[in-house]
């Protein structure tokens, strides 16, 4: 019997010829990433236990991306703790003015490569599956253990194979594909499982869209995910990778716990209605209800890349936001911000009436830079629309891709780009 990608990577990292789903192993870790909120707990544990070393300063990165610029005294203290710890142990450190949202910046700076095992004290660490890495979110205690010993104890996950058939329509992007997949398997459909994405539909799906799909695997309960790497991805890695890598592919006779086949030839842009990502509906159905929006939030580790900015800017160019709509735009990193400035995307957004903010995670989790009041409706390009996720428990959050978000900001209600 053959092996899945997850089984192959984990075997290579625990010194065995093969491992099987369900086994528990100690696996070497290639890279560790944490944000200020979760890293502080790991650092506090590090001090409390009297630790005095880390396994490799070049394999650990702490970013301040959730509450920057400091939005309260607690955030200022968290960021100070991370800054001082990084300096003490010689870690690279990025903060406001140089930082980006970690899941945009980490791959763009070449920290993660195919075949890696990556753990992050943030649930959306699964994003790096777009590059063929086995990356998964864990808790601060796991981060602490890995920082000191360079390995982690975990179970080899079962794998769900998702086959996307057909040719994707123009205008349909990764956000639509992953919302559709989640709507079919549910928010618990891949609990503690890996997902392998394959099928001819992915041939025309950009790397930016693949990052978006990988990012939202956790919204189906997934532990990690994998794509077969196309030429665009290999070119991206060639420009950025900090170290050699090995690309793993699944065997033809690999054992899967489930195979999900979906024809996406007729798929429309999707909108997830409150209050779960699995509540995805086609835009043609949602648009009929003319759901008024108070705020459009554009950005996050899900849809904060340059391609997303381009899609929105093309729709917003020469137009104005509806009078009652505020649109908050947060580029995913300083590099995305700079490139979007050079290409005119930021100008188009500003002229339309958008507010452009420094790269951070604030609005996505309802921390700052866009908190919702009671009764307000937000259309967001983020990954989650849980009750109270972006502010008051009586606010409502809908999820969409970049084109629907930009069009809805102009129309004042949730609609597709054809309507504007």
pLDDT at 405: 98
The string over 216-253, giving b where at least 16 C-beta atoms fall within 10 Å of a residue's C-beta and e elsewhere, is: bbbbbbbbbbbbbbbeebbebbeeebeeebeebebeee
pLDDT at 361: 93
Please report the beta strands in 240-381, taking only residues with DSSP state E, as ranges in sequence order. 258-263, 270-272, 280-282, 295-299, 326-330, 355-356, 377-380
pLDDT at 223: 98
> The sheet that has 93-94: what strands, in order across it?
93-94, 60-63, 31-35, 117-121, 134-137
The CA distance from 350 to 364, in Å, is 21
Domains identified in the chain and CATH numbers: 5-262 (3.30.499.10), 270-419 (3.30.499.10)
The CA distance from 79 to 81, in Å, is 5
Of 163, 251, 249, 160, give the one whose Cα is nearest residue 201: 163
As a dihedral over the C-alpha atoms of residue 256, residue 1, residue 131, residue 405, rounded to 10 degrees, the angle is -10
Query: What tokens does 18 get?
Result: 């093969």
Identify the three-state secondary structure at position 159.
strand
pLDDT at 57: 97
Q: Provide the residue-wise pLDDT of the chain in tens; the chain has 420 residues.
A: 899 999 999 999 999 999 999 999 999 999 999 999 999 999 999 999 999 999 999 999 999 999 999 999 999 999 999 999 999 999 999 989 999 999 999 999 999 999 999 999 999 999 999 999 999 999 999 999 999 999 999 999 999 999 999 999 999 999 999 999 999 999 999 999 999 999 999 999 999 999 999 999 999 999 999 999 999 999 999 999 999 999 999 999 999 999 999 999 999 999 999 999 999 999 999 999 999 999 999 999 999 999 999 999 999 999 999 999 999 999 999 999 999 999 999 999 999 999 999 999 989 999 999 999 999 999 999 999 999 999 999 999 999 999 999 999 999 999 999 999
pLDDT at 1: 82
pLDDT at 226: 98
Predicted structure pTM score: 0.97
Query: What tokens does 36 get?
Result: 């200020």
């Amino acid at each position: 019997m053959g092996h899945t990608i997850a089984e192959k990577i984990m075997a290579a990292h625990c010194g065995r010829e093969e491992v099987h789903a369900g086994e528990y192993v100690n696996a070497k870790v290639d890279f560790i990433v944490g944000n200020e909120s979760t890293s502080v707990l790991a650092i506090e544990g590090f001090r409390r236990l009297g630790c005095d070393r880390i396994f490799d300063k070049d394999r650990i990165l702490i970013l301040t991306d959730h509450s920057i610029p400091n939005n309260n005294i607690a955030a200022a203290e968290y960021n100070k703790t991370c800054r001082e710890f990084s300096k003490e142990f010689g870690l690279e450190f990025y903060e406001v003015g140089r930082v980006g949202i970690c899941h945009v910046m980490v791959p763009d700076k070449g920290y993660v490569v195919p075949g890696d095992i990556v753990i992050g004290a943030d649930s959306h660490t699964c994003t790096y599956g777009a590059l063929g890495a086995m990356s998964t979110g864990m808790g601060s205690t796991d981060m602490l253990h890995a920082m000191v010993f360079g390995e982690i104890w975990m179970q080899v996950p079962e794998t769900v194979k998702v086959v996307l058939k057909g040719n994707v329509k123009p205008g349909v992007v990764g956000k639509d594909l992953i919302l559709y997949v989640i709507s079919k398997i549910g928010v618990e459909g891949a609990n503690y499982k890996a997902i392998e994405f394959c099928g001819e539909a992915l041939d025309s799906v950009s790397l930016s869209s693949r990052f978006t799909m990988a990012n939202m695997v956790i919204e189906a309960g997934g532990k990690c995910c994998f794509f077969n790497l196309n030429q665009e991805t290999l070119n991206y890695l060639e420009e950025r990778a900090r170290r050699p890598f090995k690309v793993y592919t699944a065997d033809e006779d690999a054992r899967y716990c489930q195979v999900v086949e979906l024809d996406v030839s007729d798929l429309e842009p999707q909108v997830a209605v409150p209050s779960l990502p699995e509540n995805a509906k086609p835009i043609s159905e949602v648009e009929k209800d003319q759901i008024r929006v108070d705020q459009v939030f554009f950005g996050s580790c899900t849809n904060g890349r340059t391609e997303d900015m381009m899609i929105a800017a093309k729709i917003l160019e020469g137009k104005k936001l509806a009078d009652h709509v505020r649109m908050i735009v947060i580029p995913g990193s300083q590099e995305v911000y700079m490139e979007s400035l050079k290409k005119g995307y930021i100008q188009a957004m500003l002229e339309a009436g958008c507010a452009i903010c420094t790269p951070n995670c604030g609005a996505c989790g309802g921390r700052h830079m866009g908190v919702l009041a009671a009764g307000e409706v937000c259309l967001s390009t983020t990954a989650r629309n849980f009750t109270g996720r972006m502010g008051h428990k009586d606010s409502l959050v809908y999820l969409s891709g970049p084109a629907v978000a930009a069009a809805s900001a102009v129309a004042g209600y949730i609609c597709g780009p054809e309507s504007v």
